[in-house]
Amino acid sequence: MLSLKVLVTKVKIMLSIIDPYILLGIGVILIALESVIASFILMWFGIGFILTAFISYLYAFDDGIWQLSIASFISILLLLLLRKRTFKKFLSSNEKISDNFLNEKGIGEIKNDKVFYKGTYWEIDGEINESIFTEGEKVLVTKTFKNSATIEKKN
C-alpha cells in the first residue's frame, strides 16, 4: 500500500503540447466574446493566449501545462495592471451630464394655490408671497427642491 502512495505522488500530470495556432484561435475567440460581453476581463485572457501562441511558436515547450500556466500568468498580470486604466479610458465621459430634468428653469401654471410644473404639483416656496399670483397665471419656475418650487412673475 505504501508503494502505491509513492507511485501516485511521482506520477507527473502531463498534457500534450498545444499547437500555437490553437492558442491563437482561443485568444481571438476570447477577444471576440469580450466585444459582446464588455466586461474587460476576457480581453486580457485573449491577449495572454495570443502572446503564449507567439512564445510557443518561437520556443518548443515540453508540456501543455506550461503553455496554459504562461497564458494564465500573462492574463492575470495584464488584468491586474491594465483593467482599471482601460475602464477609465473607455468608459469615462468628458462631459458632465445633468440627469435631473426637474431642476431646470421652465414655465409653470398656478393651480389650486400650487405650481403645476412638468406634470407635478409643487408647493410655492415659503419665502414668496403667494397672494401676488392668480389662479391660472403662467409663472417662471427657477428652481425646484424636494416638494417646493421657487417662482417668479413671467414677463
Per the prediction, the chain carries an average pLDDT of 82
- Which DSSP string corresponds to 84-133? HHHHHHHH--SSPPP--TTSS-EEEEEETTEEEETTEEEEEPTTS-GGGS
Mean pLDDT of 34-49: 91
Say what the pLDDT of residue 112 is: 78
Taking only the tens place, the pLDDT of each residue in 42-74 is 999 999 999 999 999 999 888 899 999 999 999
Taking only the tens place, the pLDDT of each residue in 70-107 is 999 999 999 999 988 887 887 776 766 555 555 567 78
Mean pLDDT of 18-46: 93
Q: What is the pTM of this model?
A: 0.55
